[in-house]
């Protein structure tokens, strides 16, 4: 039993090692990618559930490494948040997304994800103002997606920064809604323009009565609080139809369109009669 324990310990030890090595590799290579400007953005459409017209696109950062291949933001964004590299990444995504979106039809908004870490310090408001000014994008076409992790620490300047951003005239969406600790209490403390229902509630919408009830409750809640509501991760026609029936405003997911490089997204706009 003792030997067993030792082996197990060694096993965990070396897999921790491997994880730590991968992490520091990512950190080093990400610094290079940022310096060389090789990060990219994909755009994923959101459509109006009733009219099916494209109303918005979400900017999603992409990193394709010359030897490691595509590295998912699910892996490198949390590392970048820890190291502070998210500052440079976030600024690149916001500026580039505004520049790209200004060429699209005026009814199409651009949604950009923000990390909590970007709210530390006074830099965010000037960054947003400068991205808008330099691109010429009208402020009402910009939407910023934040998650609950941001709001867990409302003590700091976060509430003031959110309010200042709103006063500029852009829209603030609460992302991954329903997955956090106390989503509801945040809705009392701050007015969001939009809720995005997390895709974990969508995947079993057709088979799980409880998921259906939760999604329906979120949609009704959003309406009562005068927020718009979007659902992400829609992959089937049945999910789309169910969400439309429940009164969900906007739909995003592989069924409607995958995240695409900017030129493919612009083709997509033309093919779908939006440009």
Q: Which of 143, 176, 183, 195 binds ligand C2E (CB under 6 A)?
A: 176
Q: Does 113 bind Ca ion (CB under 5 A)?
A: yes
Cβ contact 135:95 at 8 Å: yes
Cβ contact 103:64 at 8 Å: no
Q: How far is the CB of 274 from Ca ion (least distance, A)?
A: 21
Chain residue whose CB lies nearest ligand C2E? 253
Q: Does 145 bind Ca ion (CB under 5 A)?
A: yes
* 118-to-17, 91, 182 alpha-carbon distances in Å: 30, 9, 22
* Distant-in-sequence contacts of 195-200, Cβ < 8 A, 24+ apart: 195/221, 195/222, 195/227, 195/228, 195/229, 195/230, 196/145, 196/229, 196/230, 196/231, 196/232, 197/229, 197/230, 197/231, 197/232, 197/248, 198/232, 198/233, 199/231, 199/232, 199/233, 199/253, 200/233
Joined together, the tokens standing for residue 262 give 């900017």
Q: How far is the CB of 110 from ligand C2E (least distance, A)?
A: 12
Please report, as residue ranges, which positions from 183 to 212 form the binding site for ligand C2E (by CB under 6 A).
none
> Among residues 59 and 243, whose Cβ is nearest to ligand C2E?
59
Q: How far is the CB of 91 from Ca ion (least distance, A)?
A: 17
Q: Does 216 bind ligand C2E (CB under 6 A)?
A: no
Q: Which of 45, 87, 233, 249 binds ligand C2E (CB under 6 A)?
A: 233
Give the list of residues 6+ apart from residue 229 with CB closer than 8 angstroms, or none: 194, 195, 196, 197, 218, 219, 222, 223, 248, 249, 250
Please report, as residue ranges, which positions from 16 to 45 form the binding site for ligand C2E (by CB under 6 A).
44
Q: Does 148 bind Ca ion (CB under 5 A)?
A: no
Q: Which of 33, 49, 61, 146 binds ligand C2E (CB under 6 A)?
A: 61
Please report, as residue ranges, which positions from 81 to 140 form the binding site for ligand C2E (by CB under 6 A).
90, 93, 113-115
Cβ contact 70:234 at 8 Å: no
Q: How far is the CB of 17 from ligand C2E (least distance, A)?
A: 26
Q: Does 259 bind ligand C2E (CB under 6 A)?
A: yes
Residues near ligand C2E, by CB under 6 A = 44, 59-61, 72-74, 77, 90, 93, 113-115, 175-176, 232-235, 253-254, 259
Which residues would be at the binding site for Ca ion (CB under 5 A)?
Answer: 113, 145, 175-176
């Amino acid at each position: 039993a003792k030997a067993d324990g030792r082996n197990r310990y060694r096993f965990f030890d070396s897999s921790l090692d491997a994880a730590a090595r991968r992490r520091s590799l990512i950190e080093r290579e990400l610094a290079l990618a940022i310096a060389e400007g090789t990060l990219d953005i994909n755009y994923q459409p959101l459509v109006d559930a009733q009219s099916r017209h494209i109303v918005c696109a979400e900017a999603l950062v992409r990193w394709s490494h010359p030897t490691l291949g595509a590295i998912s933001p699910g892996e490198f964004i949390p590392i970048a948040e820890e190291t502070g590299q998210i500052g440079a990444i976030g600024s690149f995504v916001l500026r580039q997304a505004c520049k790209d979106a200004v060429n699209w039809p005026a009814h199409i908004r651009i949604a950009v994800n923000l990390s909590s870490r970007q709210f530390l310090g006074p830099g965010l408001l000037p960054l947003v103002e400068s991205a808008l000014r330099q691109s010429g994008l009208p402020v009402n076409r910009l939407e910023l997606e934040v998650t609950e992790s941001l709001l867990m620490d409302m003590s700091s300047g976060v509430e003031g920064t959110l309010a200042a951003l709103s006063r500029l005239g852009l829209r603030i969406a609460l992302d991954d809604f329903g997955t956090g600790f106390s989503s509801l209490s945040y809705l009392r403390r701050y007015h969001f323009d939009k809720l995005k229902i997390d895709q974990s509630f969508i995947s079993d919408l057709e088979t799980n009565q409880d998921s259906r009830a939760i999604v329906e409750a979120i949609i009704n809640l959003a309406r009562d609080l005068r927020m718009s509501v979007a659902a992400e991760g829609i992959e089937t026609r049945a999910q789309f139809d169910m969400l439309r029936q429940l009164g969900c405003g906007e739909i995003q997911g592989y069924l409607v369109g995958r995240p695409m490089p900017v030129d493919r997204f612009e083709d997509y706009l033309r093919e779908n009669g939006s440009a």
